[in-house]
Structures are given as C-alpha cells and as structure tokens.
Amino acid sequence: MPQVVILGAGIIGLYTTFLLIDRGVNPAEIAIVAEFLPGDQSIHYASPYAGAGFCACVNEPYVKYSRYTYENVARLHAALGSKGTGIGTFVSTEYTDSVPSDHLLDQLRQFLDDFDTVDVPSTVQARHGVRYTAWGFNSPLLIKNLLEWAVGKGVQVSRRKVAHVSDAFAPDTEVVFNCTGTGAIGLGGVEDAKAFATRGQAVVVLAPYIGECRSLDGTEKTYVIKRPDSNTDEVILGGIYQRHNFDPNVYGHDTADILTRTTRLYPELLSHNPSGSRVEDLKILRVVAGARPYREGGVRIEKETVAGKTVVHNYGAGGQGYLCGLGMSSEAVDLWQGTEHTTAVQPRQRWAPKPKESGKVS
C-alpha cells in the first residue's frame, strides 16, 4: 500500500512527486490519485493550458520559490532525459508599470543569468524593464513526461475523484500531499473559502521567426511566450485574467483583445511574419481557456492533521505554478521530512550553452 499519496496530477503534484523521489522516497511507496491526468482537457485542470513562461518580477515573498525553481530545473531536465522534455531556455524581456524595489532587483541579480535593466520603448506603456535568460516550459509535454517518468520509476497512478481529503488515505498511508489547485475550493476537509479560479484565455500561433519571450505587467497582463520542444514552432499569446470564472468557452472578443495587445508589445509578430504584416496573417493554431488556481493571501503550504493523518497542503499558485512550483513543492516536502532546501542556495547545473536563435527575432 502507498505510504505517500499525491492528490492531484497537475504541475504542482508532479513537481512534488519528482522531489520526493529525488530526496530518497521509494517510488513504489508513492501513489498519485487524481481526477484528471496529462492528456485530459477540462477547465478544472489548468496545467495543460498554461503559458508557463518564467517571470522575474514576482511578488517578493515568492522570490524564494522562483529562485529554487530557476536553480534546480536543470536537475529535472536531466532526469527526464534532456531532449524533448518540454523545458528550454530563452531570452526574456519584462516590462512593468511599477518600478521594482532595489531589494527585489538585488535578489534577482543573484540568480538570474544575464540579468540587466533595459530601456522601455516608447510604444510600450511601462516604467521599467528587465532582460535575462529564462527557463521556458511546454506545459502539456512537460506534465506528460513527468508522469511517464514517475510511472517508469514505479509510482502508482489511480484515476479517481476524491470527495474528502481523508478518502485519499489507505491504512498504511503516512502523508497526503494536497495538490488539488482549484479542487481545494470544494474538496471535503479543505473547502478553502480563500481559493478561487481565475479564467485565462490564450492564443497559440505558429511563429518560427520569434526567438524570445516578452511580457508587460500593467493595467492588463500581456505576454508572448516561446514554447520549447514544439514541433509546430508554437508561441503563446495572452493573457486574460477573469476572477471567479470557470467558463471553459473561448470568445472572439478576448482573442481580438489578446492579438491587439501582443502585437503592440511585440511588433515583430507582424513585421517579421513571412505570411504578411496584418493580424489576419498570423497562423492561429488554436485558442484555449483554463482556470488558474488563485488564492487570497497567496499560496497555502502547511501541514495539518486530518482524521489522525498528516496532510500537507500545496496549492494556490495562481498563474505561477511552473515558475514557482518546484520551490513550493520543495517547501511542502520539507514540512513532511523535517528538512530545509527551499531557501538554501544550490549550485546550478548547466545543461546547455546559451541558446542561439539564428534567424529569429530577438
């Protein structure tokens, strides 16, 4: 019987599984229990729809999580086999309409490769800009690879919906990691009134001529994210943020808004498109919607006893699951194992030289 149960198979649950194995837990004693698995499509399963770009200017309390992720993704990449993992690096430029504190900028300089401040172009309504080498994630491919890796190690997987967190316990189970995302809203024994969904919509385009990521955090959040290991040279355009909304439909007015904002932020989407310089000339592969797992007050990473058993909660990442999730999961595993890894500065493993995007727009 499993001694460790991971409730949820989104990126947070899969990051948690990886770290448990990485830190010596026998995979045969781990079980993933989830209503949705990689390959499924549901508004209640956010991870496959994530743009999954890295973001430097997170809220300061989250820097420890993004730093741990940034400095340890190379180990995950190597464990998955290095090629076709759904993990890559790109140059990323971020603009914000507020000026980050000197303290935050000093923290970012300590761990982000090639980090520097940059001027804001006149066409962008922002007050500050930074540029650095970022990790990028192909969200559906990465979660698929993570699950296959875990199963290959001996982790058990059970597809079922759990009504109450205590239902995840078997007689020999020592701990349940609650990584249910928006599921925490209605999960018995949790029913977190602070948790809520924020609907997003993204436009996936064919753009092999785009070689970097770019984002604007202003009145509206706009992003252009290059997707690694994509056979169709995908670039993700977003975003939409609609609180308390589980609507799975996609809307033309949201798509038009996204295309207007992203082409203003990244004019080369049009000017360097060999098919033409109009918005209508962009090759749209698909339009998707997902519900991000937000939580008032931020993430919940804490240990409690439910029905005499240990539950470690690890959810509420919002739109930062890929960015902060490895650090969040490290802290959650630390809570159970009584160790501390998250805030420790780890030597980084360089898995590849800086990317050279020959012929692509930067």
> Using one digit for the tens of pLDDT, what is the confidence trace for 61-103?
899 999 999 999 999 999 999 789 999 999 999 999 999 999 9
User: Do the beta carbons of residue 2 and residue 172 sit within 8 Å?
Assistant: yes
Residues in the chain: 362
d(C-alpha 278, C-alpha 340), whole Å: 52
Question: What is the structure's pLDDT at 343?
Answer: 46
Tell me whether strands 309-315 and 175-178 are parallel, antiparallel or unpaired.
parallel
Question: What is the structure's pLDDT at 360?
Answer: 64
Say what angle helices 11-22 and 321-337 make with each other, to 10 degrees: 50
357 has pLDDT over 70: no
User: Do the beta carbons of residue 300 and residue 331 sit within 8 Å?
Assistant: no
d(C-alpha 286, C-alpha 201), whole Å: 11
For residue 133, say whether it is annotated as part of any ligand binding site. no
Query: Quick one: DSSP state of residue 166?
Result: G
Amino acid at 7: L
Question: What is the structure's pLDDT at 57?
Answer: 79
SS3 20: helix
Mean pLDDT of 234-247: 96
For residue 223, say whether it is annotated as part of any ligand binding site. yes
User: Do the beta carbons of residue 332 and residue 340 sit within 8 Å?
Assistant: no
Which are the contacts of 221, defined by CB distance < 8 A and separation ≥ 6? 215, 238, 239, 241
Say what angle helices 63-79 and 321-337 make with each other, to 10 degrees: 90
The model's pLDDT over 284-334, given as tens digits with 9 standing for 90+, comes to 999 999 999 999 999 999 999 988 889 999 999 999 999 999 999 999 999
Which are the contacts of 347, defined by CB distance < 8 A and separation ≥ 6? none
The model's pLDDT over 102-158, given as tens digits with 9 standing for 90+, comes to 999 999 999 999 999 999 999 999 999 999 999 999 999 999 999 999 999 999 999
User: Do the beta carbons of residue 2 and residue 134 sit within 8 Å?
Assistant: no
User: Do the beta carbons of residue 318 and residue 198 sit within 8 Å?
Assistant: yes
Question: What is the structure's pLDDT at 59?
Answer: 86
Mean pLDDT of 52-60: 87
Measure CA 308 to chain center.
33
Question: What is the structure's pLDDT at 349?
Answer: 47
- φ and ψ of 193, to 5 deg: -70, -15
For residue 319, say whether it is annotated as part of any ligand binding site. yes
Domains annotated for the chain, with CATH where assigned, are 4-337 (3.30.9.10)
Listing DSSP states for 246-281 in one string gives ------HHHHHHHHHHHHHH-THHHHT-TT-SSGGG
For residue 16, say whether it is annotated as part of any ligand binding site. no
342 has pLDDT over 60: no
Question: What is the structure's pLDDT at 353?
Answer: 36
Question: What is the structure's pLDDT at 341?
Answer: 67
Q: Which residue has the tokens 């399963």?
A: 45
d(C-alpha 239, C-alpha 320), whole Å: 13
The model's pLDDT over 11-30, given as tens digits with 9 standing for 90+, comes to 999 999 999 999 999 999 99
The rounded mean pLDDT for the chain is 92
Burial 29-45 (b: 16+ CB within 10 A, else e): bbbbbbbbbbeeeebbb
The pLDDT-based confidence of 205 (bands split at 50, 70, 90) is very high
Question: What is the structure's pLDDT at 347?
Answer: 44
Percent of the chain whose predicted confidence (pLDDT) is above 90 = 86
Question: What is the structure's pLDDT at 362?
Answer: 58
